[in-house]
């Protein structure tokens, strides 16, 4: 499923500064800066070989070229106005597509950076049974790990690559990948030894033997997905392209056959006029803006804290009639979050430092600590829940209607990557 | 009774009669194409042609059967015309063999249900050809259209199968249960109304003024009924339904118009019944009726107000040039509108003589393709394809994969739909452009100026859409028009049918999706309006340049 609701990159290096203000997630896709950055690409796309992928705009470009030739032979203000207008149409269409592509590139770049920034503690010449004081560590970037390397990962650190645990036991938070909010135990030997790059060790210390080659890790596949998503046209888009191509052919013929009829009627028309008529008839607007429409759909979802990896996913979401969830965590954040700390049964309020097993997700307010309660203390639990609800409601009212998107712990505002 | 009152009365009676037949005939049609039982005579036909009536065909097999059947029909008809001098020529008047180019054009024309006639029937075709060739094709070509419409409907009613029914079984059922019984009843009514039906040869009589005139007898009423009811249009006389032996009086004129519209307007009911939602049928018939009513109103208005545009003779009762005085402009306009929207092509007045705008509407009707209500069967699959396009366009506005009658409209379906509506404009515009752009084509235009242009565009629109009516001022007996016309008619008939069946095959393979809150309700007036808009915009934009230089230029000059 390519709709993921994890609002941040899976391998965020360490807890984010917890005091980040909840902010409205801006679309930012059709901002002037983005447009400006995409402009050179828009001109590069004037290459007919690239244009051929979009038959409607290819016809417009050929028409623009024909009109230019015709305007050079017979210059007039009218002709040149039409020519400028036609070229602008083509460039604007390219711009929309360049922005769409730029977005995919930016996402992939964020993921790559994440990967580069993960520093692995590689063990030199590690042998099974080696005593801790005999270990020699060297820090290397996560990208340089290769098959058979051994790395040591401690509580709070990110596992730098896919591999098997060869020594130790640890609880690992795999929520970023599986959506499962409870930590899982990974230990050496047996079935539960496999760990995935990008997940976080919550307790203890393990030695991991890397089992994936560089470029084939989970994050690499994510990058490929993000980059590949753009190239996938949605089924509706393909169907629409068929319709647009058919209409273009019809109108092309209507205009081509107009000339012999016009000759017969003793009113032959100039090339510029015919091209202008053709561009007016064929579905230029929708052909040009198709990619922009896709971005707009993804943008709307981003504003609601849903990360759509492709226009295809947006469309698939539109076709959903019934949504079945195994647990609420999957569709919201995928991890537990604390909104407030409630001391129960005479325990004093702890310091603001989070215990190692506390949720990985940065929470606001910063003093937050686990507030779920264990069975066996029903009264305290009920009281705690009431307080949580009150706190949630208060936060929600402060933040306005948007807050309920990130339920149940609405006070934490997920950021989108990049 | 004034001409206008007569017109209103005829339209009113027509609406009442068609409405009365909608439910019973529609239900009967649905039963014909869903029954598993076969009559004794049908079983003997199956045995004769070696068909297993229980074996269903894939869409591709259905197409192959249809094409093979039509190919044999063309060959048979061509042979019959080329050899008519030697065959059974003791019945009726003697005729020479038909020339090859004319025989080719006529064979293609009758097999494709166009019935474009480049000849005068009364002095070209023997009774054997008329009855055993042309009239037989009137039945068979109509049946082909109907069975394809029902194969297409099965695409909606069946799921997770690639079988659309059996072409041969459908054909036999259609002919024996629908066309023959209705033709017998209709033929008797026409004969009772005064249409001629006999086997006599030419009579030479002396008129009151002392001149000699040749009077032709022949089997007319029996051919007339299927000519109209099957939306064929090819009558035994050159003057078609304007001839008193084919169409003797106002009643038969009205009855013929009723026959034109009978099956096309009842098919949506059969569709609604087969998809188990009669309101789907009502929505489609509403679209058809609206466009038909608009066409009738438009042509009637311009024919009764000849001052608006053009230089047609401005006499009291409207534009009377080319109009049979027995029917007047009201009867003529009603017939002209009904024959052009149903792709029949029978005429009781001459379309070449319609006022520029009236003729323009007739041309526009034909250019609509076969949809409103279209030829028998052809209109049904035509409007279904456009309904799919409409649902798709509407679906884009809500961002869901659109669905129609529980079937999703995906790229595969869209591909067939696009090919379907692409075919006719390509054929018409290419052929018309070639004819107007070349000396060969231009030399056959008798009326220079915009009217000549309209004639050429009308000719190819009529042939490609298998209508068969013509603007007479074009010398279509020229070899170029004979040969290209035959090709245009065959392409215009079979290419869309293949795409329609492909679409049906693709739909039948899907499993139905239940309607949900996001499904566009295709039974509402909103959808009816949208479908009409899509039809008008698509056709309007495609043919606007041609219409502007033809009828508009002539009318506004």
Residues paired with A307 in a beta bridge: A4
Chain A residues within 8 A (CB-CB) of chain B?
235-236, 238-240, 242-243, 245-246, 249-251, 253-258, 260-265, 267, 277, 281, 297, 314-315, 318-319, 321
Alpha carbon distance B311, B555 (integer Å): 8
Asked whether the beta carbons of residue B542 and residue A254 sit closer than 8 angstroms, the reply is yes
A-B CB pairs within 8 A amount to 109
Alpha carbon distance A34, A28 (integer Å): 7
Residue of A nearest to B423 (CA): A250
Q: Which of B297, B361, B227, B254 is nearest to B14 (CA)?
A: B254
On whether the CB atoms of residues A262 and A268 are closer than 8 A, the answer is: yes
Q: Which residue has the tokens 């009308």?
A: B458
Distance from CA of A353 to the nearest CA of B (A): 47
* A386: pLDDT strictly greater than 70: no
Least confident residue range of A47-56, A409-418, B208-217, B225-234: A409-418
User: Which residues contact residue B62 at a Cβ distance below 8 angstroms, ignoring those fewer than 6 apart?
Assistant: B151, B164, B165, B166, B167, B501
* A143: pLDDT strictly greater than 50: yes
Residue A399 has a pLDDT of 45
* B555: pLDDT strictly greater than 90: no
Asked whether the beta carbons of residue A243 and residue B418 sit closer than 8 angstroms, the reply is yes
Domains and CATH numbers, chain A: 26-114+225-304 (no CATH), 119-157+162-211 (2.70.150.10)
Residue of B nearest to A266 (CA): B449
Q: At A38, is the pLDDT very low, low, confident or very high (cuts 50, 70, 90)?
A: confident
Buried b (16+ CB within 10 A) or exposed e, B359-395: bbbbbbbbbbbbbbbbbbbbbbbbbbbbbbbbbbbbb
Residues paired with A3 in a beta bridge: A308
Omega cis (within 30) before B373: yes
More confident residue, A248 or A196: A248
Distance from CA of A245 to the nearest CA of B (A): 9
Least confident residue range of A77-81, A319-323, A408-412: A408-412
* A323: pLDDT strictly greater than 80: no
Q: Which of B355, B528, B369, B335 is nearest to B464 (CA)?
A: B369
* A44: pLDDT strictly greater than 80: yes
Kindly list the distances between the CA atom of residue B222 and the CA atoms of A245, A391, B132, B185, B193, in Å, as whole numbers in the listed order: 47, 88, 12, 10, 13
More confident residue, A94 or A302: A94
Chain A partners of B388 at a C-beta cutoff of 8 Å?
none
Distance from CA of B109 to the nearest CA of A (A): 25
Identify the helix (H) or strand (E) that includes residue B215.
strand B212-215
* B351: pLDDT strictly greater than 80: yes
For residues A391, A410, A362, A24, the Cα torsion angle rounded to the nearest 10 degrees is: -130
Residue of B nearest to A258 (CA): B545
* Helices (H), ranges, B354-449: 356-367, 378-398, 411-437, 439-442
Angle B548-B551-B556 from CA coordinates, rounded to 5°: 85
Best mutation target, B411, B438, B537, B541, to test chain A (most A CBs within 10 A): B411
More confident residue, A141 or B99: B99
Least confident residue range of A114-118, B108-112, B171-175, B446-450: A114-118
Distance from CA of B182 to the nearest CA of A (A): 40
| Mean pLDDT of the B357-368 span | 92
Residue A365 has a pLDDT of 38
Q: Which of A126, A61, A100, A115 is nearest to A279 (CA)?
A: A61
Distance from CA of A311 to the nearest CA of B (A): 11
More confident residue, A314 or A160: A160
Distance from CA of A292 to the nearest CA of B (A): 14
Q: Within 13 Å of residue B421, how many CA atoms lie on the same side as its CB?
A: 32
**Tokens for B524?**
């509402």
Residue A158: DSSP 8-state: B
Beta strands in A110-264, from DSSP E residues, in sequence order: 119-124, 136-141, 150-154, 163-167, 169-173, 184-187, 194-195, 200-201, 205-210
On whether the CB atoms of residues A177 and A236 are closer than 8 A, the answer is: no
Q: At B473, is the pLDDT very low, low, confident or very high (cuts 50, 70, 90)?
A: confident
Selecting from A236, A258, A261 the residue whose C-beta is nearest the C-beta of B396 gives: A236
Residue A176 has a pLDDT of 67
More confident residue, B38 or A406: B38
Best mutation target, A244, A253, A284, A295, to test chain B (most B CBs within 10 A): A253
| Mean pLDDT of the B285-297 span | 95
Asked whether the beta carbons of residue A318 and residue B398 sit closer than 8 angstroms, the reply is yes
Class of residue B210 by CB neighbours under 10 A (exposed 0-12, middle 13-18, buried 19+): exposed
Cβ neighbours around B279 below 10 Å, total: 12
Alpha carbon distance B182, A290 (integer Å): 52
Residue B59 has a pLDDT of 94
* B33: pLDDT strictly greater than 50: yes
Q: Within 13 Å of residue B363, how many CA atoms lie on the same side as its CB?
A: 31
Residues paired with A170 in a beta bridge: A186
pLDDT in tens, B116-165: 999 988 888 888 898 889 999 999 999 999 999 999 999 999 999 989 99
Q: Check if the interface score ipTM surpasses 0.90.
A: no
Chain A partners of B400 at a C-beta cutoff of 8 Å?
315, 318-319
Residue B247 has a pLDDT of 92
Q: At A361, is the pLDDT very low, low, confident or very high (cuts 50, 70, 90)?
A: very low
pLDDT in tens, B41-94: 999 999 999 999 999 999 999 999 999 999 999 999 999 999 988 887 677 778
Residue A162 annotated to the active site: no
Buried b (16+ CB within 10 A) or exposed e, A365-389: eebbbbbebeeeeeeebeebeeebe
Identify the helix (H) or strand (E) that includes residue B58.
strand B57-58
Asked whether the beta carbons of residue A257 and residue B433 sit closer than 8 angstroms, the reply is yes
Percent of the residues in chain B that have a pLDDT greater than 90, as a whole number = 65
* A363: pLDDT strictly greater than 70: no
Mean of pLDDT over chain B: 90
Cβ neighbours around A357 below 10 Å, total: 13
Q: Which of B244, B257, B236, B231 is nearest to B117 (CA)?
A: B236
Q: Which residue has the tokens 């430092």?
A: A353
Residue A388 has a pLDDT of 55
Residue of A nearest to B394 (CA): A240
Selecting from A245, A281, A315 the residue whose C-beta is nearest the C-beta of B541 gives: A281
Identify the helix (H) or strand (E) that includes residue B404.
strand B403-404
Omega cis (within 30) before B359: no
On whether the CB atoms of residues B466 and B110 are closer than 8 A, the answer is: no
User: Which residues contact residue A353 at a Cβ distance below 8 angstroms, ignoring those fewer than 6 apart?
Assistant: none
Chain B partners of A315 at a C-beta cutoff of 8 Å?
399-401
Asked whether the beta carbons of residue A321 and residue B392 sit closer than 8 angstroms, the reply is no
Quick one: angle between helices A311-318 and A235-256, nearest 10? 100
Alpha carbon distance B433, A257 (integer Å): 5
Percent of the residues in chain A that have a pLDDT greater than 90, as a whole number = 13
Distance from CA of B452 to the nearest CA of A (A): 10
Chain B partners of A250 at a C-beta cutoff of 8 Å?
421-422, 425-426, 542
* A30: pLDDT strictly greater than 60: no
* A36: pLDDT strictly greater than 50: yes
Q: Within 13 Å of residue B397, how many CA atoms lie on the same side as its CB?
A: 7
Residue of A nearest to B390 (CA): A243
User: Which residues contact residue A356 at a Cβ distance below 8 angstroms, ignoring those fewer than 6 apart?
Assistant: A155, A156, A202, A203
Q: At A408, is the pLDDT very low, low, confident or very high (cuts 50, 70, 90)?
A: very low
Residue of A nearest to B442 (CA): A264
Q: Could you tell me how many residues make up chain A?
A: 418
DSSP class per residue in B18-46: HHHHHHHHHHHHHHHTT-----HHHHHHH
Asked whether the beta carbons of residue B401 and residue A235 sit closer than 8 angstroms, the reply is yes
User: Pick the catalytic residue: A19, A191, A319, A326?
Assistant: A326
Asked whether the beta carbons of residue A258 and residue B450 sit closer than 8 angstroms, the reply is no
Least confident residue range of A197-201, B172-176, B243-247: A197-201
Q: Could you give the 3-state DSSP secondary structure of residue B212?
A: strand
Residue A238 has a pLDDT of 86
pLDDT in tens, A82-118: 999 999 999 988 887 787 777 666 766 766 766 667 7
Residue B22 has a pLDDT of 96
Chain B partners of A251 at a C-beta cutoff of 8 Å?
541-542
Mean of pLDDT over chain A: 72
More confident residue, A408 or B307: B307
pLDDT in tens, B296-315: 999 999 888 776 654 444 55
* A129: pLDDT strictly greater than 80: no
Best mutation target, A56, A238, A241, A250, to test chain B (most B CBs within 10 A): A250
Alpha carbon distance A31, B347 (integer Å): 63
Residue of B nearest to A245 (CA): B418
Alpha carbon distance B522, B141 (integer Å): 31
Q: At A351, is the pLDDT very low, low, confident or very high (cuts 50, 70, 90)?
A: low
Residue B41 has a pLDDT of 94
Most confidently modeled range among A34-48, B19-33, B74-88: B19-33
| Mean pLDDT of the B341-368 span | 91
Residue A5 has a pLDDT of 37
| Mean pLDDT of the B205-224 span | 88
Residues paired with A206 in a beta bridge: A153
pLDDT in tens, A184-195: 888 888 788 888
Asked whether the beta carbons of residue A249 and residue B426 sit closer than 8 angstroms, the reply is yes
Residues paired with B404 in a beta bridge: B407
pLDDT in tens, A243-263: 999 999 999 999 999 999 898
More confident residue, A380 or A366: A380
| Mean pLDDT of the A257-275 span | 90
Residue A27 has a pLDDT of 46
On whether the CB atoms of residues B357 and B554 are closer than 8 A, the answer is: no
Best mutation target, B545, B549, B554, to test chain A (most A CBs within 10 A): B545
Chain B partners of A267 at a C-beta cutoff of 8 Å?
549
Alpha carbon distance B512, B542 (integer Å): 34
**Tokens for B75?**
């060959």
Alpha carbon distance B553, A277 (integer Å): 18
Selecting from B411, B433, B542 the residue whose C-beta is nearest the C-beta of A260 gives: B433
Residue B60 has a pLDDT of 95
Q: Could you give the 3-state DSSP secondary structure of residue A163?
A: strand
Asked whether the beta carbons of residue B401 and residue A257 sit closer than 8 angstroms, the reply is no
Residue A235: DSSP 8-state: H
Query: Would the CA dihedral through B315, B318, B319, B320 be positive or negative?
Result: negative
Chain B partners of A319 at a C-beta cutoff of 8 Å?
400-401, 518
């Amino acid at each position: 499923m390519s709709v993921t609701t994890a609002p941040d990159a899976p391998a965020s290096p360490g807890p984010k500064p917890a005091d980040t203000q909840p902010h409205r997630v801006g679309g930012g896709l059709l901002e002037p800066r983005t447009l400006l950055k995409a402009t050179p690409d828009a001109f590069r796309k004037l290459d007919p070989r690239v244009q051929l992928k979009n038959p409607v705009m290819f016809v417009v470009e050929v028409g623009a070229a024909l009109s230019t030739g015709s305007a050079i032979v017979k210059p007039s203000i009218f002709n040149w106005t039409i020519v400028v207008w036609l070229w602008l149409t083509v460039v604007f269409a390219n711009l929309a597509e360049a922005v769409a592509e730029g977005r995919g590139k930016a996402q992939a770049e964020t993921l790559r950076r994440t990967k580069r920034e993960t520093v692995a503690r590689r063990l030199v010449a590690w042998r099974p049974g080696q005593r801790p004081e005999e270990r020699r560590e060297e820090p290397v970037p996560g990208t340089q790990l290769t098959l058979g390397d051994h790395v040591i990962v401690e509580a709070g650190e990110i596992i730098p690559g896919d591999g098997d645990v060869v020594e130790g036991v640890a609880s690992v938070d795999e929520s970023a990948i599986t959506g499962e909010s409870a930590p899982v135990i990974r230990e050496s030997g047996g079935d539960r030894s496999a760990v995935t790059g990008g997940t976080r060790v919550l307790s203890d210390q393990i030695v991991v033997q890397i089992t994936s080659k560089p470029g084939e890790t989970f994050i690499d596949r994510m990058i490929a997905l993000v980059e590949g998503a753009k190239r996938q046209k949605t089924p509706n888009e393909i169907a629409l392209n068929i319709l647009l191509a058919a209409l273009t052919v019809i109108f092309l013929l209507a205009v081509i056959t107009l000339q012999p009829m016009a000759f017969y009627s003793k009113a032959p028309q100039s090339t510029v006029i015919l091209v202008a008529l053709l561009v007016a008839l064929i579905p230029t607007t929708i052909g040009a803006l198709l990619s922009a429409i896709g971005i707009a759909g993804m943008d709307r979802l981003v504003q609601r804290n849903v990360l759509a990896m492709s226009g295809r996913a947006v469309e698939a979401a539109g076709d959903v009639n019934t949504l079945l969830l195994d647990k609420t965590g999957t569709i919201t954040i995928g991890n537990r979050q604390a909104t407030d700390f409630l001391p129960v049964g005479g325990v004093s309020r702890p310091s603001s430092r989070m215990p190692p097993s506390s949720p990985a997700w940065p929470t606001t307010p910063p003093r937050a600590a686990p507030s779920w309660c264990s069975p066996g203390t029903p009264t305290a639990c009920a009281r705690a829940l009431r307080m949580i609800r009150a706190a949630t409601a208060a936060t929600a009212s402060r933040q306005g209607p948007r807050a309920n998107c990130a339920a149940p712990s609405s006070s934490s505002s997920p950021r989108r990557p990049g | 009774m004034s001409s206008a009152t007569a017109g209103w009365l005829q339209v009113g009676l027509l609406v009442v009669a068609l409405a009365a037949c909608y439910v019973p005939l529609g239900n009967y049609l649905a039963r014909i194409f869903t029954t598993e039982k076969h009559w004794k005579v049908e079983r003997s036909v199956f045995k004769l042609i070696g068909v297993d009536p229980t074996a269903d065909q894939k869409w591709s097999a259905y197409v192959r059967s249809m094409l093979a059947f039509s190919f044999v029909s063309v060959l048979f008809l061509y042979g019959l015309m080329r050899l008519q001098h030697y065959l059974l020529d003791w019945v009726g008047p003697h005729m020479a063999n038909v020339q090859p180019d004319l025989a080719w054009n006529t064979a293609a024309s009758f097999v494709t249900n166009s019935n474009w006639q480049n000849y005068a029937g009364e002095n070209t075709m023997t009774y054997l050809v008329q009855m055993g060739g042309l009239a037989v094709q009137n039945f068979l070509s109509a049946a082909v259209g109907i069975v394809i419409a029902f194969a297409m409907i099965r695409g909606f009613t069946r799921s997770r199968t690639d079988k659309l029914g059996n072409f041969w079984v459908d054909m036999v059922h259609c002919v024996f249960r629908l066309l023959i019984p209705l033709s017998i009843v209709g033929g008797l009514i026409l004969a009772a109304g005064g249409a001629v039906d006999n086997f006599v040869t030419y009579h030479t009589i002396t008129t009151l003024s002392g001149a000699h005139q040749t009077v032709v007898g022949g089997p007319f009423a029996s051919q007339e009924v299927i000519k109209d009811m099957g939306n064929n249009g090819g009558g035994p006389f050159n003057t078609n339904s304007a001839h008193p032996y084919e169409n003797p009086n106002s009643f038969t004129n009205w009855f013929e118009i009723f026959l034109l519209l009978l099956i096309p307007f009842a098919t949506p009911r059969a569709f609604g019944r087969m998809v188990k939602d009669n309101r789907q049928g009502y929505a489609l018939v509403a679209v058809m009726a609206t466009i038909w009513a608009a066409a009738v109103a438009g042509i009637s208005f311009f024919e009764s107000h000849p001052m608006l545009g053009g230089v047609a003779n401005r006499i009291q009762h409207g534009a009377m040039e080319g109009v049979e005085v027995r029917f007047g402009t009201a009867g003529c306009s009603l017939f002209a509108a009904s024959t052009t929207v149903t792709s029949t092509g029978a005429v009781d007045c001459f379309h070449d003589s319609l006022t520029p705008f009236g003729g323009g509407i007739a041309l526009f009707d034909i250019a609509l393709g076969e949809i409103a209500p279209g030829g028998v069967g052809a209109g049904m699959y035509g409007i279904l394809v456009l309904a799919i396009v409409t649902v798709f366009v509407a679906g884009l506005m809500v961002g869901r994969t659109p669905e129609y009658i529980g079937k999703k409209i995906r790229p595969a379906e869209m591909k067939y739909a696009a090919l379907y509506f692409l075919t006719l404009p390509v054929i018409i515009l290419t052929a018309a452009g070639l004819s107007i752009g070349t000396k060969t084509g231009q030399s056959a235009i008798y009326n220079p100026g915009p009217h000549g242009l309209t004639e050429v565009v009308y000719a190819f629109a009529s042939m490609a859409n298998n209508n068969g009516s013509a603007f007479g001022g074009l010398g279509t007996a020229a070899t170029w028009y004979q040969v290209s016309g035959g090709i245009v008619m065959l392409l215009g008939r079979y290419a869309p049918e293949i795409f329609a069946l492909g679409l049906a095959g693709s739909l039948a393979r899907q499993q139905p999706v239940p309607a949900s809150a996001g499904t566009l309700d295709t039974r509402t007036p909103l959808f009816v309006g949208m479908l009409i808009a899509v039809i008008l915009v698509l056709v309007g934009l495609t043919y606007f340049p041609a219409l502007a230089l033809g009828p508009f230029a002539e009318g506004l000059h």
